[in-house]
């Protein structure tokens, strides 16, 4: 099949990075990212487009369609609930397919009041109040997400004095554990995947630690009821929390990719890719596997430096080899530099037979443009051409000497990550 050109918008948030990781290595996908506000997208998306207007601006659709036509985009994937709703309402004005449900479904999922009204009568819907009739209770924005601007009200003294209840939902307090349940609905409306994951730790409303759990009859029933009442296309998820009796109650539903769908992807369900194929009219079949996964993540740093270089001089002992093992980030960097057409020079004072040591660690000599094995007492700077070069070495005195002699950037082993290019 011809490559499907996919545009992720906006492309700077955590869930857009999950979309990138799920799609960027697929041979049938050519991936693009676009944003109105530049954040992290340019560090990950090879094809990155900045400067789109906000969806609230009059010329947004015009600019979006310009990008779609210029790059022959086949499908656009929105990453924010408000963008999902906007795209759904304006699908007739967008010159490509968009990975969103119909307008009715998008609106139901965007507003909790509509979600609860649509599913009214089911036992998994929490108690909803019109006023502060019972304590404790929980207040959350009707169109919010990620736990932002939510309040637990334990008694009358904690009632916010300046809050417009028309924009909030008041519901029973749910003290128990919380789950996110990733789902997939095919083009015929059949629910093919229900994959619950426990939210063991969150940061800024985002699950950063969790594990998959077995699908209970209760969770499956909730997923099937939701799928029956709302029309989905491809991936979606819902969140549930246990009440004081231990029963699951619905918090919210969303039709965008969740950043922690990476956990479900680790089980073999690439929901973004399956959703693209579904939107393009193809039949998909999930592969169900029998193993469990735990996930824990923290912040990751990616860098850009304003120094152009063509040559990399890198040490061997305690730089490429650390404590008798190959240091994988160093090898990543070496392969990356070769991919970018840069020259990699191995420069070392290694004692013994260097060729045999390279063979021992299964490191090919062909990875290096030149191997400089120093057996005299001349400084490493003597053997280097400093023109558009950098130097990597664990030894401070070596770095100091090269920097003083050639005035080029030098890096310790811990700073190898500064040079890594994550763009795919």
Give Cα separations from 387 to 89, 221, 310, 393, 424 (angstroms). 55, 66, 8, 18, 28
Looking at residue 281, its pLDDT comes to 93
Q: How far apart are CA 49 and CA 229, in angstroms?
A: 37
Percent of the chain exceeding pLDDT 90 equals: 84
Domains of the chain: 4-99 (3.40.50.20), 108-118+175-287 (3.30.470.20), 128-172 (no CATH), 311-419 (3.40.50.1000)
Give Cα separations from 14 to 89, 118, 203, 298 (angstroms). 25, 30, 12, 12
Percent of the chain exceeding pLDDT 70 equals: 99
Extended beta strands in 166-205, E state = 168-172, 178-185, 191-203
Mean pLDDT of the chain: 94
The answer on pLDDT for 152 being more than 90 is no
Quickly list DSSP for 275-307.
HHHHHTT------------EEE---------S-
Looking at residue 145, its pLDDT comes to 66
Looking at residue 99, its pLDDT comes to 95
For residue range 354-392, list pLDDT tens digits in order: 999 999 999 999 999 999 999 999 999 999 999 999 999
Residue 94 near residue 65 (C-beta atoms within 8 A): yes
Split at pLDDT 50, 70, 90, the class of 103 is confident
Extended beta strands in 204-334, E state = 206-212, 234-242, 248-254, 294-296, 311-314, 321-322, 325-326
Residue 403 near residue 392 (C-beta atoms within 8 A): no
Three-state DSSP class for residue 253 = strand
Split at pLDDT 50, 70, 90, the class of 146 is low
Q: How far apart are CA 152 and CA 150, in angstroms?
A: 7
The answer on pLDDT for 133 being more than 80 is no
Looking at residue 324, its pLDDT comes to 96
The answer on pLDDT for 72 being more than 70 is yes
């Amino acid at each position: 099949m011809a490559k499907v050109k996919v545009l992720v918008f906006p492309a700077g948030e955590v869930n857009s990075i999950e979309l990138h990781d799920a799609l960027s290595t697929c041979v049938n996908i050519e991936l693009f990212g676009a944003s109105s506000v530049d954040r992290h997208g340019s560090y990950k998306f090879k094809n990155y487009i900045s400067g789109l207007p906000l969806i609230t601006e009059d010329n947004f659709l015009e600019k979006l369609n310009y990008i779609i036509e210029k790059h022959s985009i086949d499908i656009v994937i929105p990453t924010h609930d408000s963008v999902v709703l906007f795209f759904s309402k304006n699908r007739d004005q967008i010159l490509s397919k968009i990975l969103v449900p119909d307008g009715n479904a998008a609106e139901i999922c965007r507003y909790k009041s509509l979600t609860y009204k649509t599913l009214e009568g089911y036992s998994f819907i929490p108690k909803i109040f019109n006023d502060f009739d019972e304590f404790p209770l929980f207040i959350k924005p009707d169109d919010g997400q990620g736990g932002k601007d939510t309040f637990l009200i334990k008694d009358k003294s904690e009632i916010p004095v300046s809050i417009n209840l028309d924009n909030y939902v008041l519901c029973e307090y749910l003290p128990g554990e919380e789950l996110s349940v990733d789902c997939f609905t095919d083009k015929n409306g059949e629910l093919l995947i229900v994959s619950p994951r426990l939210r063991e730790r969150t940061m800024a409303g985002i699950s950063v630690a969790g594990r998959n759990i077995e699908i209970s009859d209760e969770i499956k029933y909730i997923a099937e009821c939701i799928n029956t009442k709302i029309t989905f296309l491809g991936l979606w998820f819902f969140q549930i929390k246990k009440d004081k009796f231990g029963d699951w109650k619905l918090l919210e539903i969303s039709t965008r990719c969740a950043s922690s769908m990476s956990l479900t992807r680790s089980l073999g369900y690439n929901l973004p890719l399956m959703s693209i194929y579904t939107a393009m009219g193809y039949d998909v079949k999930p592969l169900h596997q029998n193993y469990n996964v735990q996930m824990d993540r923290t912040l990751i740093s990616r860098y850009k430096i304003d120094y152009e270089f063509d040559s990399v001089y890198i040490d061997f002992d305690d730089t490429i080899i650390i404590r008798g093992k190959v240091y994988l980030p160093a090898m990543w960097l070496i392969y990356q530099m070769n991919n970018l057409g840069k020259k990699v020079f191995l420069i070392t004072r290694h004692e013994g037979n260097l060729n045999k040591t390279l063979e021992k660690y299964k490191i090919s000599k062909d990875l290096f443009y030149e191997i400089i094995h120093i057996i005299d007492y001349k400084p490493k700077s003597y053997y280097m051409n400093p023109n558009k070069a950098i130097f990597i070495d664990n030894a401070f005195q070596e770095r100091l000497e090269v920097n003083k002699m050639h005035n080029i950037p030098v890096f310790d082993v811990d700073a190898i990550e500064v040079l890594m290019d994550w763009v795919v």
